[in-house]
Structure formats: C-alpha cells, structure tokens
C-alpha cells in the first residue's frame, strides 16, 4: 500500500502570518497569484524567498478546476467573498487532491476559503485563527423591500435599494483537518 504524500497548499495569509512554517516531510505549494501578493522587500518577502529555497513549488491550477471552484462558490454564496487568488488556491488544492496518493491540506485563515473547501471536501488548517465550525450558505436581501435573492445583487432590481449578504443556511461541521 502506497503512503499518501501530504501536500500543503499555502494561502497568502499563511505566508504573511509571520508564523514559522516547518514542514519537513511534507511538500508545500502555492499559486502564482499568491507570489504576486508578496511585495519585494521586507520580512514577508524574505519569508517567501526562504520557503522557495526550502522547496515551495508555485503551480497554476487548470481551468477546469477554477471553473468548478467558481461553480461551487456560487452555490455556497461565497463567490463574491473570494478573490481571484482565493479561487486559484482552492482550484489548485482540488486539482492536487484528485491526483493519486495525495493528501492535500490548505493552510489558511480565510473563512470563505474554509467554507468552500469544506463544501469541496478538502482539508484545511488555520494559522492564527480558529477554523470555521459551521458551513454557511449565503443569500442576498434587499434592505428596502426585503426581497431575497439566491444570486448576489448589489442593487435590488425591484426597488433600487442596496442589498446585503445574509446567511440563509448554516450547518455544523466536524473538524476538517483530521489532525493526527
């Protein structure tokens, strides 16, 4: 029986946290968009360069995985809460998770990434924050007329008032990381 290779997919928050990332036996990967968010110079950049020297790989996810993450994030209502970098992180984790003999864990403090990761059945661990305990489904509600929309709308098409995101459903989840 082949042992699974544990790979950590690093979000920008993992690098900017300032916490040491001591992953000796595991592989660490991230995406090109994360590397673009690390400004040259300073401690964060030095941290990032150190991780690259220690084997951090930068991999672009394929378009099919990006499209699937977008579809799922629309379903959960997180689409407009995720940056393109967040979508790329989730897509890379999904892609690597589908490869044989991989155990993928996303390292992030971002709650929307965690929410979508949980929906995609991807593991995650946090750095500075406690992780999510509930999976949310977001809808949109007009502040004026109260009409609810499944899709995100900034302005109500009925009365023209601004809308706000509301939780339409929440479900308690078990600890996603399966820490041993």
- Buried b vs exposed e over 96-122: b needs ≥16 C-beta within 10 Å? bbeeeeeebbbbbbbebbbbbbbbbeb
Looking at residues 3-23, what average pLDDT do you find? 81
List phi, psi (to 5°) of 28.
-120, 135
103-115: per-residue pLDDT in tens? 999 999 888 899 8
Instruction: Give the mean pLDDT of 154-159.
Output: 84
Q: What is the CATH number of domain 5-131?
A: 3.40.50.1010
Give me the pLDDT at residue 177, please.
Answer: 45
pLDDT of residue 17: 78
Average pLDDT over residues 34-59: 88
pLDDT value at position 2?
64
Q: How far apart are CA 102 and CA 57, in angstroms?
A: 15
Residue pair 106/13 in contact (Cβ under 8 Å)? The answer is no
Q: Read off the pLDDT of residues 129-144 as tens digits, 9 standing for 90 and up.
A: 655 555 667 777 888 8
Q: Which residue has the higher pLDDT, 137 or 148?
A: 148
Q: Is it the case that residue 18 has pLDDT exceeding 90?
A: no
Q: How much is the pLDDT for 178?
A: 43
Q: How far apart are CA 54 and CA 46, in angstroms?
A: 12
User: Residue 87's pLDDT is what?
Assistant: 97
pLDDT above 70 covers what percent of the chain?
81
74-97 pLDDT, tens digit per residue, is: 888 888 889 999 999 999 999 999
What is this structure's pTM?
0.73
- Per DSSP, the residues of 53-97 read HTT-EE-PPPHHHHHHHHHHHHHHT-GGGS-HHHHHHHHHHHHHH
Enumerate the CATH 3.40.50.1010 domain ranges in the chain, comma separated. 5-131
């Amino acid at each position: 029986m082949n042992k699974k290779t544990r790979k950590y997919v690093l979000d920008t928050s993992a690098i900017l946290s300032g916490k040491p990332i001591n992953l000796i036996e595991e592989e660490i990967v991230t995406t090109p968009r994360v590397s673009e968010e690390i400004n040259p110079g300073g401690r964060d950049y030095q941290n990032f360069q150190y991780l690259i020297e220690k084997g951090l790989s930068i991999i672009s996810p394929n378009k099919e995985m990006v499209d699937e993450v977008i579809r799922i994030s629309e379903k959960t209502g997180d689409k407009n809460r995720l940056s393109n970098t967040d979508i790329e992180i989730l897509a890379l984790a999904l892609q690597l998770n589908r490869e044989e003999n991989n155990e993928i864990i996303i390292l992030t403090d971002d709650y929307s990434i965690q929410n979508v990761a949980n929906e995609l059945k991807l593991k995650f661990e946090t750095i500075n924050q406690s992780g999510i305990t509930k999976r949310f489904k977001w809808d949109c509600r007009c502040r004026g007329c109260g009409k609810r929309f499944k899709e995100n709308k900034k302005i109500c098409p009925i009365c023209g008032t601004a809308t706000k995101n509301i939780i339409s459903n929440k479900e308690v989840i078990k600890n996603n990381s399966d820490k041993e």
